[in-house]
Amino acid sequence: MKFIMIRKQWIFLVFAVLFIAIAGWYLAQPISVQTSGEENNSGKSYSIQMITTEFSTKTDDGKEIEAYRWDPGTIVVPQGKEISISIYGVNGKEHPFYIEGTDYKGTVQKGKETIINVKFDKEGTYRLICTTHATIDSNGPMIGYIIVD
């Protein structure tokens, strides 16, 4: 009868190689991101949450400067699907807005949620523009991008 001797180092090495192989396979898998309220692959509903934010700082001479933005600044939505965009006002008293190239418009107020239901029939990039903060002179530009794919 023959006995095979296995050293502890060999066992450890086998487990280490298996662990690295499994971890590498797992990390190589594509990541599927699902937004809140989205029913994956069903085509029924998509819900996107956004907020208004403000950045402020002082220049070297003490002048305070600030800028407003939509957060996230870019969203991607499917073409031809009903989309619910919820925007919660965190900073700034109010942000009247419109979506360029469409009839969609509204106003986001601080501490309140504004919901717009939209549907984009054409692919492309649509700008979400706050009319109060449309340029650098008005603490902007507060422009978000809606990419319809």
In a domain, 88, yes or no: yes
In a domain, 3, yes or no: no
In a domain, 62, yes or no: yes
Percent of the chain exceeding pLDDT 70 equals 82
| 105-137 per-position pLDDT tens digit | 999 999 999 999 999 999 999 999 999 988 888
Q: How far apart are CA 59 and CA 61, in angstroms?
A: 5
Range of the domain at 66: 46-148
In a domain, 32, yes or no: no
Residue 146 has pLDDT above 70, yes or no: yes
| Number of domains the chain is built from | 1
In a domain, 119, yes or no: yes
User: 107, 117, 113, 114: which is closest to 84 by C-alpha?
Assistant: 117
Q: What pLDDT was estimated at residue 1?
A: 63
Place of tokens 């402020």: 56
The torsion of the CA quartet 78, 82, 88, 92, rounded to 10 degrees, works out to 80
Q: Is the pTM for the entire model greater than 0.75?
A: no
CB atoms within 10 A of CB 91: 16
CB atoms within 10 A of CB 101: 13
Average pLDDT for the chain: 83
In a domain, 1, yes or no: no
DSSP string covering 13-39: HHHHHHHHHHHHHHHTSPP----TT--
Q: Higher model confidence: residue 27 or residue 88?
A: 88
Q: 3-class SS at 103?
A: coil
Q: How confident is the model at residue 92 (pLDDT cuts 50, 70, 90)?
A: confident
The single-letter code of the amino acid at 124 is: G
In a domain, 143, yes or no: yes
| CATH code for the domain of 69 | 2.60.40.420
| 29-87 per-position pLDDT tens digit | 554 433 344 444 455 568 899 999 988 899 999 999 888 999 999 999 999 999 999 99
| Residue 102 burial (10 A CB sphere; 0-12, 13-18, 19+) | middle
In a domain, 29, yes or no: no
Q: What pLDDT was estimated at residue 117?
A: 93
Place of tokens 């601080």: 110
